Amino acid sequence: DSGVTQTPKHLITATGQRVTLRCSPRSGDLSVYWYQQSLDQGLQFLIQYYNGEERAKGNILERFSAQQFPDLHSELNLSSLELGDSALYFCASSARSSSYNEQFFGPGTRLTVL
Amino acid sequence: AQTVTQSQPEMSVQEAETVTLSCTYDTSESNYYLFWYKQPPSRQMILVIRQEAYKQQNATENRFSVNFQKAAKSFSLKISDSQLGDTAMYFCAFMNPGGKLIFGQGTELSVKP
Protein backbone atom coordinates (compact mmCIF):
# COMPACT_ATOMS: atom_id res chain seq x y z
CA ASP A 1 0.00 0.00 0.00
CA SER A 2 1.58 3.24 -1.21
CA GLY A 3 -0.56 5.48 0.98
CA VAL A 4 -2.10 7.18 -2.06
CA THR A 5 -5.80 6.60 -2.50
CA GLN A 6 -7.89 7.00 -5.61
CA THR A 7 -11.63 6.84 -6.04
CA PRO A 8 -13.50 5.35 -7.69
CA LYS A 9 -11.66 2.19 -8.69
CA HIS A 10 -13.81 1.69 -11.76
CA LEU A 11 -15.98 4.06 -13.72
CA ILE A 12 -18.17 3.23 -16.69
CA THR A 13 -19.84 6.05 -18.54
CA ALA A 14 -21.07 7.10 -21.96
CA THR A 15 -19.59 9.33 -24.62
CA GLY A 16 -20.23 13.00 -24.07
CA GLN A 17 -20.44 12.68 -20.31
CA ARG A 18 -18.31 14.29 -17.61
CA VAL A 19 -16.57 12.49 -14.75
CA THR A 20 -14.40 13.43 -11.78
CA LEU A 21 -11.56 11.29 -10.48
CA ARG A 22 -10.32 11.87 -6.97
CA CYS A 23 -6.90 11.42 -5.43
CA SER A 24 -5.68 11.73 -1.86
CA PRO A 25 -1.89 11.94 -1.58
CA ARG A 26 0.23 10.36 1.11
CA SER A 27 0.17 12.18 4.41
CA GLY A 28 2.55 15.12 4.20
CA ASP A 29 3.06 15.00 0.43
CA LEU A 30 2.47 18.35 -1.24
CA SER A 31 2.89 17.37 -4.87
CA VAL A 32 0.37 15.43 -6.95
CA TYR A 33 0.87 14.08 -10.45
CA TRP A 34 -1.72 12.64 -12.84
CA TYR A 35 -0.83 10.02 -15.46
CA GLN A 36 -2.90 8.27 -18.12
CA GLN A 37 -2.21 4.70 -19.19
CA SER A 38 -3.86 3.65 -22.44
CA LEU A 39 -3.17 0.93 -24.98
CA ASP A 40 -2.48 3.48 -27.71
CA GLN A 41 -0.36 6.02 -25.85
CA GLY A 42 1.20 4.02 -23.04
CA LEU A 43 1.88 5.82 -19.77
CA GLN A 44 1.73 9.59 -20.18
CA PHE A 45 2.12 12.46 -17.77
CA LEU A 46 -0.90 14.74 -17.71
CA ILE A 47 -0.42 17.42 -15.06
CA GLN A 48 1.30 18.25 -11.77
CA TYR A 49 0.14 20.29 -8.79
CA TYR A 50 2.16 21.46 -5.84
CA ASN A 51 0.50 22.82 -2.73
CA GLY A 52 -2.54 23.93 -4.68
CA GLU A 53 -0.79 25.42 -7.68
CA GLU A 54 -0.31 23.98 -11.13
CA ARG A 55 3.39 23.27 -11.73
CA ALA A 56 3.65 21.41 -15.01
CA LYS A 57 1.47 20.31 -17.87
CA GLY A 58 1.98 17.38 -20.16
CA ASN A 59 -0.19 15.90 -22.88
CA ILE A 60 -3.44 16.92 -21.24
CA LEU A 61 -6.40 17.60 -23.50
CA GLU A 62 -8.34 20.86 -23.21
CA ARG A 63 -11.39 18.78 -22.25
CA PHE A 64 -9.51 17.70 -19.13
CA SER A 65 -8.80 19.86 -16.11
CA ALA A 66 -7.50 19.32 -12.61
CA GLN A 67 -7.17 21.10 -9.33
CA GLN A 68 -5.64 20.58 -5.92
CA PHE A 69 -7.59 21.66 -2.88
CA PRO A 70 -6.38 23.19 0.42
CA ASP A 71 -6.50 19.76 2.07
CA LEU A 72 -4.14 18.65 -0.75
CA HIS A 73 -6.46 16.14 -2.37
CA SER A 74 -6.72 16.51 -6.11
CA GLU A 75 -9.44 15.99 -8.68
CA LEU A 76 -9.13 15.30 -12.38
CA ASN A 77 -12.15 16.35 -14.39
CA LEU A 78 -12.76 14.78 -17.79
CA SER A 79 -15.52 16.22 -19.94
CA SER A 80 -17.11 15.54 -23.34
CA LEU A 81 -15.77 12.04 -23.02
CA GLU A 82 -14.78 10.08 -26.11
CA LEU A 83 -14.16 6.38 -26.60
CA GLY A 84 -10.44 7.08 -26.74
CA ASP A 85 -10.47 8.45 -23.21
CA SER A 86 -10.91 4.93 -21.88
CA ALA A 87 -7.78 4.31 -19.85
CA LEU A 88 -6.30 3.72 -16.44
CA TYR A 89 -5.70 7.03 -14.67
CA PHE A 90 -3.03 7.11 -12.01
CA CYS A 91 -2.36 9.67 -9.37
CA ALA A 92 1.06 9.84 -7.73
CA SER A 93 2.34 11.98 -4.90
CA SER A 94 5.73 13.12 -3.68
CA ALA A 95 7.01 15.19 -0.81
CA ARG A 96 8.18 18.18 -2.78
CA SER A 97 7.77 19.69 -6.21
CA SER A 98 11.42 19.51 -7.13
CA SER A 99 12.87 16.71 -9.08
CA TYR A 100 14.36 13.51 -7.81
CA ASN A 101 11.71 12.82 -5.24
CA GLU A 102 10.20 9.37 -5.41
CA GLN A 103 6.65 9.34 -6.63
CA PHE A 104 4.24 6.97 -4.92
CA PHE A 105 1.45 5.74 -7.14
CA GLY A 106 -2.16 5.14 -6.22
CA PRO A 107 -4.02 2.03 -7.43
CA GLY A 108 -5.54 3.90 -10.36
CA THR A 109 -9.05 4.53 -11.63
CA ARG A 110 -10.11 2.51 -14.64
CA LEU A 111 -12.35 4.57 -16.88
CA THR A 112 -14.43 2.88 -19.55
CA VAL A 113 -16.28 5.09 -22.02
CA LEU A 114 -19.02 3.28 -23.96
CA ALA B 1 12.50 16.39 -25.56
CA GLN B 2 13.36 13.38 -23.48
CA THR B 3 12.43 9.95 -24.78
CA VAL B 4 12.65 6.46 -23.32
CA THR B 5 12.82 3.34 -25.48
CA GLN B 6 12.30 -0.26 -24.44
CA SER B 7 13.01 -2.44 -27.45
CA GLN B 8 11.75 -5.73 -25.99
CA PRO B 9 7.94 -5.83 -25.88
CA GLU B 10 7.94 -9.33 -24.36
CA MET B 11 10.44 -11.57 -22.62
CA SER B 12 10.29 -14.87 -20.79
CA VAL B 13 12.63 -16.56 -18.35
CA GLN B 14 12.69 -19.80 -16.42
CA GLU B 15 12.26 -19.64 -12.69
CA ALA B 16 15.62 -19.19 -10.87
CA GLU B 17 17.33 -17.94 -14.05
CA THR B 18 18.62 -14.44 -14.74
CA VAL B 19 17.09 -12.02 -17.21
CA THR B 20 18.09 -8.57 -18.44
CA LEU B 21 15.62 -5.94 -19.66
CA SER B 22 16.94 -3.19 -21.91
CA CYS B 23 16.23 0.52 -21.87
CA THR B 24 17.74 3.47 -23.70
CA TYR B 25 16.91 7.11 -23.27
CA ASP B 26 17.66 10.44 -24.85
CA THR B 27 18.18 13.70 -23.02
CA SER B 28 20.33 16.80 -23.05
CA GLU B 29 20.17 17.08 -19.27
CA SER B 30 23.32 16.33 -17.31
CA ASN B 31 21.62 15.41 -14.07
CA TYR B 32 18.54 13.25 -13.82
CA TYR B 33 17.11 10.12 -12.27
CA LEU B 34 16.21 6.83 -13.90
CA PHE B 35 13.74 4.30 -12.56
CA TRP B 36 12.39 0.85 -13.19
CA TYR B 37 8.76 0.30 -12.23
CA LYS B 38 6.94 -3.01 -12.06
CA GLN B 39 3.26 -3.32 -12.91
CA PRO B 40 1.83 -6.74 -11.96
CA PRO B 41 -1.61 -7.91 -13.13
CA SER B 42 -3.13 -5.89 -10.27
CA ARG B 43 -2.02 -2.77 -12.25
CA GLN B 44 -0.38 -1.21 -9.21
CA MET B 45 2.81 0.70 -10.11
CA ILE B 46 5.64 -0.47 -7.87
CA LEU B 47 9.07 1.14 -7.78
CA VAL B 48 11.75 -1.51 -8.30
CA ILE B 49 14.97 0.48 -8.38
CA ARG B 50 16.30 4.02 -8.81
CA GLN B 51 19.56 5.37 -10.24
CA GLU B 52 20.93 8.88 -9.85
CA ALA B 53 22.74 9.97 -13.01
CA TYR B 54 25.56 11.61 -11.07
CA LYS B 55 26.43 8.33 -9.36
CA GLN B 56 28.76 6.03 -11.25
CA GLN B 57 27.98 3.05 -9.05
CA ASN B 58 25.16 0.90 -10.32
CA ALA B 59 22.16 0.63 -8.01
CA THR B 60 21.17 -2.72 -6.53
CA GLU B 61 18.11 -3.83 -4.58
CA ASN B 62 18.30 -7.45 -3.51
CA ARG B 63 17.82 -9.53 -6.69
CA PHE B 64 17.48 -6.44 -8.87
CA SER B 65 20.42 -4.50 -10.25
CA VAL B 66 21.01 -2.05 -13.06
CA ASN B 67 23.73 -1.51 -15.62
CA PHE B 68 23.86 2.25 -16.09
CA GLN B 69 25.96 3.45 -19.02
CA LYS B 70 25.62 7.23 -19.00
CA ALA B 71 27.62 7.92 -22.16
CA ALA B 72 25.62 5.36 -24.08
CA LYS B 73 22.36 6.50 -22.41
CA SER B 74 21.57 2.94 -21.52
CA PHE B 75 19.86 1.68 -18.35
CA SER B 76 19.22 -2.07 -18.24
CA LEU B 77 17.63 -4.04 -15.41
CA LYS B 78 18.95 -7.43 -14.35
CA ILE B 79 16.74 -9.74 -12.35
CA SER B 80 18.60 -12.61 -10.71
CA ASP B 81 17.04 -15.80 -9.40
CA SER B 82 13.74 -14.98 -11.14
CA GLN B 83 10.61 -15.82 -9.19
CA LEU B 84 7.05 -16.43 -10.36
CA GLY B 85 6.06 -13.22 -8.59
CA ASP B 86 8.34 -11.25 -10.89
CA THR B 87 5.87 -11.82 -13.72
CA ALA B 88 4.73 -8.33 -14.63
CA MET B 89 5.07 -5.44 -17.04
CA TYR B 90 8.28 -3.51 -16.41
CA PHE B 91 8.60 0.16 -17.26
CA CYS B 92 11.79 2.14 -17.56
CA ALA B 93 11.30 5.81 -16.67
CA PHE B 94 13.26 9.05 -16.81
CA MET B 95 12.64 11.89 -14.41
CA ASN B 96 13.30 15.38 -15.72
CA PRO B 97 14.30 18.32 -13.50
CA GLY B 98 10.66 19.28 -13.07
CA GLY B 99 9.82 15.92 -11.57
CA LYS B 100 7.80 14.62 -14.52
CA LEU B 101 8.22 10.92 -15.23
CA ILE B 102 8.64 9.87 -18.85
CA PHE B 103 7.97 6.18 -19.39
CA GLY B 104 9.05 3.68 -21.99
CA GLN B 105 6.50 1.43 -23.66
CA GLY B 106 7.15 -1.41 -21.26
CA THR B 107 8.45 -4.98 -21.39
CA GLU B 108 6.10 -7.79 -20.45
CA LEU B 109 8.08 -10.37 -18.49
CA SER B 110 6.82 -13.90 -17.94
CA VAL B 111 8.57 -16.14 -15.44
CA LYS B 112 7.90 -19.79 -16.24
CA PRO B 113 8.01 -22.60 -13.68
Task: Indicate the average pLDDT of chain A.
Answer: 93
Q: How far apart are CA B66 and CA A93, in angstroms?
A: 25
What is the structure's pLDDT at B55? 87
Per-residue confidence band for A99, with pLDDT thresholds at 50, 70 and 90: low
User: Assign residue A51 a region: left if phi > 0, alpha if psi is -120 to 50, beta otherwise?
Assistant: left
pLDDT for A107 beyond 60? yes
Q: Give B-chain residues touching A102 at CB under 8 angstroms.
A: 47, 50
Answer yes or no: are the C-beta atoms of A90 and A75 closer than 8 Å.
no
Task: Tell me how far the alpha carbon of residue B94 is from its chain's centroid.
Answer: 10
pLDDT for A98 beyond 60? no
- For A24-52, what is each residue's pLDDT tens digit? 999 989 999 999 999 888 999 999 999 99
Q: How far apart are CA B7 and CA A114, in angstroms?
A: 33
Task: Tell me how far the alpha carbon of residue B42 is from its chain's centroid.
Answer: 19
* Contact yes or no for B99 and A58 at CB 8 A: no
Rounded mean pLDDT for each run of 10 residues along chain B, 113 residues in total: 93 98 93 93 93 91 96 97 97 87 96 97
Answer yes or no: are the C-beta atoms of B15 and B112 closer than 8 Å.
yes
